[in-house]
A and B are shown apart, each in its own frame.
Chain A
Amino acid sequence: MPPLGILLPSLVNGLLTGGVYALVALGLTLIYGVLHIVNFAHGSLLMLAMFGTWLLCTEAGFDPYAALPVMVAAMFAMGWALYRGVIGPVAAGAGGGVRQDRAILLATLGVAVVLDNFALVLFTGDTRTIDTPYAFDVVPVGGMLISLPRLISFGVALLLALALWAFMTRTDAGRAIRAVAREPDGARLMGIRPERIFALAYGIGIACLGAAACLLLPVFYVSPSVGNSFVLVSFTIVVLGGMGSFPGAVIGGLLIGVTESLGGLLLGESLGPIGISTVFIAVLLLRPTGLFGAAR
């Protein structure tokens, strides 16, 4: 067991990263909860958002945090278009049931493959970062030095999660989305067009990635394959918290952030990542409804 002086900062760091993970997972769980599709392109879309942010920062001189509203809007449009152009038509063309489930899963995989390799063509496989004046600023908290950008990311991520929750529960659009999630046919009778709501929900789910990208970039790198590492992480969070559960995604995000950080510390650099996969497999095999989810 490492001494507390190393363990505690590692724990805090994991928690802070977990906040951003939670935001990524919220988008995924929203898409699952409303559309009942497993969005395998989630990691790749995050990668795309990170490259978008990187371009804004390096080419247009944006501060990453100032780029946040721009990226949220851009990724919302991206998600909307992707649903309208690819996922919706595939879902409509595949009939129903098992076949449809598989067609949509493979379509999101296809989107991921296209995006990953499109980025490879455009940006090559190099790892890229941005320079900010505050990248190495720290704040002392209880005897620990905590990275300022991580702290900001954590706070903003939780605020955005709260804002999303408020949107879903307090606005007409949010209520319409939840109505469609529960009763697509009933919602249709009330004059809500499910196809528009699906596109809206997918757009919002992807917009979360725009925000997450801006919060990640000051402390993280971007490369065409960076999405791969987020795919398993975000799915682990979502199944841990219960597919479709909002509070589950937030708590799951924090738990997985800590798991990853402690896994790296206790098991070492190369064996550490096994923690995430193991948690994922264990949850799916032993408790597929997650810690907080109802039966699926």
Chain B
Amino acid sequence: MPLVVLAGIVLAALPFLGGSQYLATIGLLTAASALVGQGWNLAGGFGGLTSFGSVMFFGIGAYTAAIIQTRWGINPWFGLPAGAALGGLAGAVVGFAAFRAGLRGSYFALVTLAFAEVFHVLSNSLALTGAGLGITLRLAPGLGNFQFLDRRASYAVMLALLVLATALAHWLRASRFGARLVALRENEDAAQALGIDIVRTKTLAFALSGAVIATAGVVYTQTYLYIDPSIAFSVERSVEMLLVAMIGGPGTVWGPILGAIGLHLVADTAQAWIALPGFAAMLYGVVLLAVIRLLPDGIAGMFRRA
């Protein structure tokens, strides 16, 4: 295991060495996938709360960052806590409504999808979000402005958030709250008989998940300086989060990181091999099917068994 950690550190540090913007971009994208995957994993992996609409949190984070600076002139760094807070709030509200109504499994997946669609439609209609045109940030590079010309800086921020999210997952696995969440995933009746508050535990988990995923949205806005409804609330990104967690190992601390690396290896190789739009994404689907059939505990599960 120490060898794996060492390899991970070297891999994570690689884009900083040299000065290749290409390598930094790959690092940024992989870290972003790992971050949203880790966020999804907090609820979807540990708690078995299979959300199909967690992109709503990404979108909320992305728009929070864009709105506070373009509309209200607030410093962009404030976007991180504000985005996380609003993402967490959305998770709490959506989760509370769904869990109180007793929605589980497929029904929960569908209702989150519908909530994400509501956010999509709203952002496409409201003046606050710039409707269909989206919001473009004014180019003003600088550390104080949370805008970087060097991709390595964006990568560093994303990486720091990933470390925080992974620490959160690590805490979750060891904590009472995390144990209760896992118990709910395994058997709701038994968990409730032993004194676990189903709605509260699940709602809190979904809120945590929302807060983490939202931070990825904030960094997205600060990196590309542009956000619109179809980027912010795309179904594909919801699927990506789920895929990263499922491939890496749902309910494990390192799974989403392994999953993100695996997925980007597949995607980049595929892209280099056949550069047709859709080809890489098609492989995502194939990988998902293969994982469900052959590796229900993901890559991390493979290590554990070995």
Contact = CB atoms under 8 A, between A and B. Distances in A.
Chain B's interface size range is: 35 or more
Interface string A95-112: 000110111011101111
Contacts of B285: 110-117
Given A107-B292, A274-B121, A117 B98 contact: no
A270 B132 contact: yes
A86 B117 contact: no
Q: Which of A102, A103, A232, A278 has the most chain B CB atoms inside 10 A of its CB?
A: A102
Contacts of B115: 277, 281
B255 to A, nearest CB: 15
Nearest to A89: B293
Interface stretch (B27-35, B172-180, B275-283): B275-283
Interface in B100-130: 101-107, 109-111, 113-115, 117-118, 121-122, 124-125
21 contacts: A38-B110, A94-B292, A102-B48, A105-B50, A106-B292, A110-B286, A113-B281, A114-B282, A117-B278, A117-B281, A118-B282, A121-B278, A224-B278, A236-B114, A270-B121, A271-B121, A271-B124, A274-B118, A280-B110, A280-B114, A286-B101
A286 B97 CA distance: 10
B117 A117 contact: no
A124 B117 CA distance: 24
A55 interface: no
A121 to B, nearest CB: 4
B205 interface: no
B143 to A, nearest CB: 37
A273 interface: yes
A62 to B, nearest CB: 26
A54 interface: no
B117 A110 contact: no
Interface string B260-300: 00000000000000001111011011101100110010000
Chain B interface, >50% SS class: helix
B52 interface: yes
Q: 8 tightest A-B contacts by CB? A: A120-B278, A113-B285, A114-B285, A117-B282, A38-B106, A110-B288, A117-B278, A110-B289
A106 B114 contact: no
Contacts of A113: 239, 281-282, 284-285, 288
Given A113-B239, A117-B285, A120-B277, 14 more contacts: A38-B107, A98-B48, A109-B52, A110-B286, A115-B285, A124-B277, A228-B235, A232-B113, A274-B121, A277-B117, A280-B111, A281-B115, A284-B114, A288-B102
A255 B231 CA distance: 31
Contacts of B239: 109, 113
Chain A interface, >50% SS class: helix
A70 interface: no
Interface string B16-60: 000000000000000000000000000000001010100000000
Contacts of B104: 98
Contact of B114 (A110, A116, A277): A277
A93 B278 CA distance: 29
A268 interface: yes
Contacts of B289: 86, 90, 107, 110-111, 114
A235 B118 CA distance: 15
Interface in B170-225: 185
Contacts of B293: 89-90, 93, 107
Q: Which of B97, B104, B118 has the most chain A CB atoms inside 10 A of its CB?
A: B118
B176 to A, nearest CB: 22
Interface string B216-247: 00000000000000000001000100100010
Interface residues of A, number: 52
Q: Which of B104, B131, B185, B277 has the most chain A CB atoms inside 10 A of its CB?
A: B277
Q: Which of A113, A271, A280 has the most chain B CB atoms inside 10 A of its CB?
A: A113
Contact of A288 (B101, B121, B125): B101
Contacts of B282: 113-114, 117-118, 120-121
Interface in A256-296: 268, 270-271, 273-274, 276-278, 280-281, 284-286, 288
Nearest to A123: B278
A186 interface: no
A69 interface: no
B117 A98 contact: no
A121 B283 CA distance: 11
Nearest to B113: A232
Contacts of B276: 121
Q: Which of A109, A115, A125, A232 has the most chain B CB atoms inside 10 A of its CB?
A: A109
A284 B117 contact: no
B105 A103 contact: no
Interface in A205-246: 224, 228, 231-232, 235-236, 239
Contacts of A239: 110
Interface in A130-175: none
A118 B46 CA distance: 32
A280 B116 CA distance: 12
Q: Which of A98, A231, A239 has the most chain B CB atoms inside 10 A of its CB?
A: A98
A252 B140 CA distance: 52
Interface string B86-106: 000000000001100111111
